[in-house]
Structure 1
Amino acid sequence: MFFLETERLQLIPLTHDLLTLCQQDRAAMEAKLGLNKSDMRIDPLYMTELEDALTHFWIPMTAAHPDRYLWYTNWEIVLKEERLAIGGIGFIGYPDENGQTETGFMLDKNFHSKGYAKEALTGITNWAFSHVEVSTIIAKTTTDNLPSRTLLERVGFLPAGQEADLLIYNKQRV
């Protein structure tokens, strides 16, 4: 099984089968990955977004693009030593003709302010930039989400515009 490893984390991209299992029974999916059962504290708004992404994006897109599923799936953010999923990160698709893709992430509230999101975002952006097709990674966050904005800037994302109530950040290949 493919995964990325950072100092404290594993980033595990979920295959189509694992996403389908997750939709049916998250605890069974975690067990299949050899993880301890998580009990994530997630804002209800993000929970709705995650359920929508699972049903309407990750599952259909990994089925449609099995050879490029890494660009269309949720990557579980896992604490290596505890074997515990603490969030998710990923992309919204294979880079377009301009070399651009978009990333998004979510972290269990129990694990905020410990540097895990920064470690995961750094790991996945480094992985993306290891692909010659990628020249720019976009990230969007709400204008009032100061922790997310600060995190993006700490990882090297720069403000690039605004779309309704979302601020757009981007990071260019160095």
Structure 2
Amino acid sequence: MDVITERLVLHALSSSEAERIINRSPNEDDLWHEDYPLEDELDPLRSLAYSVDAHPVFTLYMIQVAEDRRAIGGIGFFGAPGADGVVELGYGLVEPMRGRGLATEALLAAITIAATHGALRVKADTAVDNIASQRVLAKAGFLETCRSSQDIYYALELHLATLLN
């Protein structure tokens, strides 16, 4: 499943694609930024690669530039929503692609995916010193729920108005 935005494609990864990314073994038609994948994507990618029952929607997505389908990062859910309707996600872009609004664009697309498929609330967190990520979450409408000395935790209640913005 691909989700297309103005400048991006969010490509839902299969287990075999996740395994190729972990092994840094692109196919001849894959176009990956030289800094892709990000180091902190590897553990979630390993989980997907070895999963036998990955959720088709609440999964990991490769973030690609729509123009040439070059992989520049990832965004993904840490499983389907629980009984309470809450889903958690994380995201990242290769450093040279940051500061262009692309993370916000990808996050807004992921929020739409979550809301469209029954999630009621989306949670995310970021490091206290990651000001750029804090700005991305704020632009997408997330509110801080609590913090520790290292991390800030955010949540977004999903309503129809969220999808219209």
TM-score in terms of structure 2 length: 0.88
Residue in 2 aligned with 1:51?
42
Is it true that 1:125 corresponds to 2:111 in the alignment? yes
Residue in 2 aligned with 1:135?
120
Residue in 2 aligned with 1:4?
3
SS in 2 for 1:75: strand
> Structure 2 vs 1, CA of residues 152 and 59 (structure 1 numbering), >3 Å: closer, same or farther?
same
More helix by share: 1
After the TM superposition, which parts of structure 1 deviate over 3 Å for at least 4 consecutive aligned residues? Answer: none
**What is the CA deviation profile of residues 103-128 of structure 1, one whole-angstrom value per residue up to 9, with x for unaligned ones?**
10010111111111111000111111
Query: How far did 1:161 drift?
Result: 1.0
> Structure 2 vs 1, CA of residues 25 and 147 (structure 1 numbering), >3 Å: closer, same or farther?
closer
Is it true that 1:21 corresponds to 2:12 in the alignment? no
Matched residue type, 2:13: L
**What is the CA deviation profile of residues 68-103 of structure 1, one whole-angstrom value per residue up to 9, with x for unaligned ones?**
24323x211111112211110001000011000101
Is it true that 1:38 corresponds to 2:28 in the alignment? no
The one of 48, 68, 76 aligned to 2:62: 76
Residue in 1 aligned with 2:163?
none
Matched residue type, 2:57: L
Q: Distance in 2 between matches of 1:154 and 1:88?
A: 19
**Structure 1: which 5+ residue stretches go unaligned?**
none
**Structure 2: which 5+ residue stretches go unaligned?**
160-165
**What is the CA deviation profile of residues 7-65 of structure 1, one whole-angstrom value per residue up to 9, with x for unaligned ones?**
0110001111211222233422xx4xx442421277xxx51x3222222x22233x2x2
SS in 1 for 2:110: helix
The one of 126, 150, 157 aligned to 1:172: 157
Matched residue type, 1:153: A
SS in 2 for 1:70: coil
Conservation of the 8 A alpha-carbon contact between 2:126 and 2:152: yes
Matched residue type, 1:158: L
TM-score in terms of structure 1 length: 0.84
Q: Distance in 2 between matches of 1:163 and 1:70?
A: 31
**What is the CA deviation profile of residues 133-170 of structure 1, one whole-angstrom value per residue up to 9, with x for unaligned ones?**
x1000000011111100110000000011245211000
Root mean square deviation, CA, Å = 1.8
Conservation of the 8 A alpha-carbon contact between 1:158 and 1:170: yes
